[in-house]
């Protein structure tokens, strides 16, 4: 009798095991931009690599375009474990209590993608990720989008043209200072609401790289785009720490490899995606693109430079100096 019970129990276990083993680990990866952007494509590429390399043991569900959560909401969802992975712009980390990430918002501090990579790959990038751990978050990678341009329904050639304009910004105090330095009135708003706010005149304009400008159809509701290149949009791919630490070690290692390769892919396509988006804006004939001469660009930089000093205590004087050294920036 005992033997029969043992055999029945053993059979039940052996029948149950394959079914249990087939249940994939699900990673919900939420983001706010369109699929056809450096971040959208990077997320999809990570999904592909993660699913292939784990032989289907991991399923990555990508939710683009604020489908699942808007800015702000998605951070909370990550901490609560409703989603496992995000890639927010680092300009949105202030409300989380990690204001030092706003170093990336200092106007004109980066001249090129190379400058940006020097900082994210160096001690500053690592130290910033360390700050997330106490918030229950792990930083896996930095992904670059590109350089921001200023848009409005009015031609912006000199910083004074910004005077009195209501400009949408991300939730960064440094961006607030930046818009005020230009004489504009900053308004924090979720990315998903910007198109409508422009359409209805709730805001006059905004700043974004061409890839976001075009894929959110902002060219339909903004008459001018000035190639100011005054700042960057940089992302941090982040995961819920409890979820990540709880993964089987071999799966985690495989996912880290997939993230490394997806990061290279996202960084490699970023410039091309933005160049193509700018060409598409031009081709639409709906938004006039304003190119600045070096002297005009210098005037924008001169107006914005005060923002660095103003935010020394917010982002850290030492961190600013390290970034100056790494990028060769001269205030
Ligand atoms: C924005 O909110 O302007 C952008 O950072 C959105 C994004 O994720 O690129």
Question: For 250-271, what is each residue's pLDDT tens digit?
Answer: 999 999 999 999 999 999 999 9
| 208 Cβ inside 6 Å of ligand 1 | yes
Instruction: Give alpha helix (H) positions in 137-248.
Output: 173-181, 194-200, 210-215, 241-245
Rounded Cα gap, residues 8 and 5, in angstroms = 5
pLDDT in tens, 151-190: 999 999 999 999 999 999 999 999 999 999 999 999 999 9
**Helix, coil or strand: residue 73:** helix
Distance of CA 146 to the CA centre of its chain: 10
What is the chain's Cα-based Rg?
22
Q: How far is the CA of 270 from the centre of ligand 1 (A)?
A: 14
User: Which residue's CA lies nearest to atom 2 of ligand 1?
Assistant: 191
Kindly report, residue by residue over 83-103, the tens digit of the pLDDT. Answer: 999 999 999 999 999 999 999
Which of 30, 31, 33 best tests ligand 1's pocket when mutated (most atoms within 8 Å of CB)?
33
CA 31 / ligand 1 centre spacing (Å)? 9
User: What pLDDT band is residue 5 in, cutting at 50, 70 and 90?
Assistant: very low
- At 232 the pLDDT is 98
**Which atom of ligand 1 is the closest one to the Cα of 191?**
2
> Above pLDDT 90, what percent of the chain?
92
Whether 21 shows a pLDDT value over 90: the answer reads no
Q: What is the mean pLDDT of the chain?
A: 94
- What does the alpha-carbon distance between residue 319 and residue 330 come to, in Å, rounded to a whole number? 15
pLDDT at 15 over 70: no
pTM of the model: 0.93
The reply to whether ligand 1 has any atom less than 6 angstroms from the CB of 237 is: no
Cα of 89 to ligand 1 centre, how many Å? 6
User: So what's the pLDDT on residue 243?
Assistant: 98
**Ligand 1 centre and the CA of 58: distance in Å?**
27
- 33 C-alpha to center of ligand 1: Å? 7
- pLDDT tens for 116-155 read 999 999 999 999 999 999 999 999 999 999 999 999 999 9
Instruction: Indicate the SS3 state at residue 322.
Output: helix
Q: CA 143, CA 98: separation in Å to the nearest integer?
A: 18
């Amino acid at each position: 009798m005992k033997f029969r019970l043992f055999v029945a129990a053993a059979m039940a276990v052996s029948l149950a095991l394959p079914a249990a083993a087939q249940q994939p680990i699900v990673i919900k990866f939420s983001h706010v931009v369109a699929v056809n952007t450096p971040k959208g494509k990077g997320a999809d590429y990570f999904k592909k690599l993660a699913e292939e390399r784990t032989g289907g043991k991991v399923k990555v569900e990508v939710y683009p375009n604020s489908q699942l959560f808007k800015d702000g909401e998605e951070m909370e969802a990550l901490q609560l474990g409703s989603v496992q992975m995000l890639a927010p712009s680092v300009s949105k980390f202030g409300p989380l209590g990690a204001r030092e990430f706003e170093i990336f918002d200092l106007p004109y501090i980066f001249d090129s993608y190379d400058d940006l990579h020097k900082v994210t790959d160096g001690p500053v990038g690592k130290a910033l990720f360390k700050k997330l751990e106490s918030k229950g978050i792990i930083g896996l990678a930095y992904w670059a989008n590109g350089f921001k341009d200023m848009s409005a329904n009015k031609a912006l050639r000199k910083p004074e043209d910004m005077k009195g304009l209501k400009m949408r910004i991300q939730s960064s105090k440094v961006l607030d200072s930046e818009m005020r330095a230009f004489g504009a009135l900053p308004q924090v708003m979720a990315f998903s609401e910007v198109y409508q706010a422009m359409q209805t005149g709730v805001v006059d304009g905004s700043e974004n790289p061409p890839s976001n400008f075009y894929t959110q159809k902002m060219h339909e509701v903004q008459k001018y785009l000035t190639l100011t290149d005054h700042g960057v949009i940089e992302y941090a791919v982040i995961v819920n720490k409890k979820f990540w630490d709880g993964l089987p070690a071999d799966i985690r290692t495989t996912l880290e490899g997939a993230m490394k390769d997806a990061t290279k892919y996202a960084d490699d396509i970023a410039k091309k995606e933005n160049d193509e988006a700018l060409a598409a804006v031009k081709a639409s004939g709906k938004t006039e693109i304003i190119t600045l001469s070096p002297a005009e660009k210098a005037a924008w930089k001169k107006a914005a430079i005060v923002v660095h000093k103003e935010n020394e205590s917010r982002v850290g004087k030492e961190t600013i100096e390290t970034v100056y050294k790494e990028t060769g920036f001269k205030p």
